[in-house]
Amino acid sequence: MIDPVQAFAKATSSLLVPLPSSSTAGHHHTSLPSILPDSPEYQTVGETGKRTLWVVFVIMTLASAAFAGMSWTVPINKRIFHFITTLITIFAALSYFAMATGHGVAYHHIVVNESHPHVPDTEHEIYRQVFFARYIDWTVTTPLLLLDLCLLAGLNGAHILMAIIADVIMILTGLFAAFGAESNPQKWGWYTISCIAYLVVIWHLALHGRAMAMSKGGNVARFFGALAAFTLILWTAYPIVWGFADGARRVSIDAEIMCYAVLDVLAKVGFGAWLLISHATIPEIGLELGGFWAHGLNQEGTLRVGDDDEGA
């Protein structure tokens, strides 16, 4: 007669999932991990994150309307800061509307290898939402923020161009890092390149920008120093949040959204309000643009019918 206990033990001896033995059945703390395929983990936005996105969209929209209204209080040849600052919050509002409505987001597939002491290694799949609309926003708005600061300091075109190019590289490599593979060092390689590009931006503002601002007088130098320091402190917080969020996935999507929301409101709305209010109270920081910006095309230099005949 076949012993059913022996038959069962023989049938299950090839299974990958360890079965409790008589020596460990009464000890729950010695159970071994299962290496059967587990369900993928989805890290997605929750209700708190969605509400935060809508709130920031409203804030950016109201700020855009306020900044546009402030521009009507100054002549058109003095509106360059108003124009740039309004565009910053408009693009930010569009980005937050896209994210709040479920657009501008994709899943990053991550495979995490987990080692175990007594059984083969296992793999755990994670699908984390990455809001690439945020990076599109930053690619447009951070160069505009830099342009505001560079024009305030009076930087020349060469330094402005280099600072803006470094800024765009910083944002795009941050996006590449967000979708980087976990199995090789490319993710943190892109992150390192992004940080180096940020140091180039700091170098242009802190060295060349500060020197040019000081040459324009004490009021401009002090205001530029305060506004630039405010901006750089906030910008330094962005890669720190990235490291805990898209980088190491130590915080939830909702916490990531709330951190970026606070930084975006301060770096765009706070920056813009400070710049435009100071523009109205400190005449030295004003910048006048004439020519085509203020007057459009005029008749000077145009060729009229008959001019050649008269000259002949």
Higher pLDDT, 156 or 282: 156
Mean pLDDT computed over 282-288 = 75
**What value does the mean pLDDT of the chain take?**
82
Whether pLDDT at 166 is above 80: yes
pLDDT at 246 over 70: yes
In this prediction, residue 17 has a pLDDT band, given cuts at 50, 70 and 90, of very low
Percent of the chain with pLDDT over 70: 77
pLDDT tens, position by position, 64-100: 999 999 999 888 888 899 999 999 999 999 999 999 9
For position 110, what pLDDT does the model report?
78
pLDDT over 80 (residue 306) = no
Give the pLDDT confidence score for residue 270 in this predicted structure.
97
154: left (phi over 0), alpha (psi -120 to 50) or beta: left
What contacts 293, CB < 8 A, 6 or more positions away? 76, 77, 80
The CATH class, in words, for 41-284 is mainly alpha
Query: Over the stretch 98-152, which tens digit does the pLDDT of each residue have?
Result: 999 999 999 888 776 666 677 666 666 888 889 999 999 999 999 999 999 999 9
Q: DSSP per residue over 189-258, as a string? A: HHHHHHHHHHHHHHHIIIIIIHHHHHHT-HHHHHHHHHHHHHHHHHHHHHHHHHIIIIIT--S-HHHHHH
pLDDT of residue 268: 97
Coil vs helix vs strand at 119:
coil
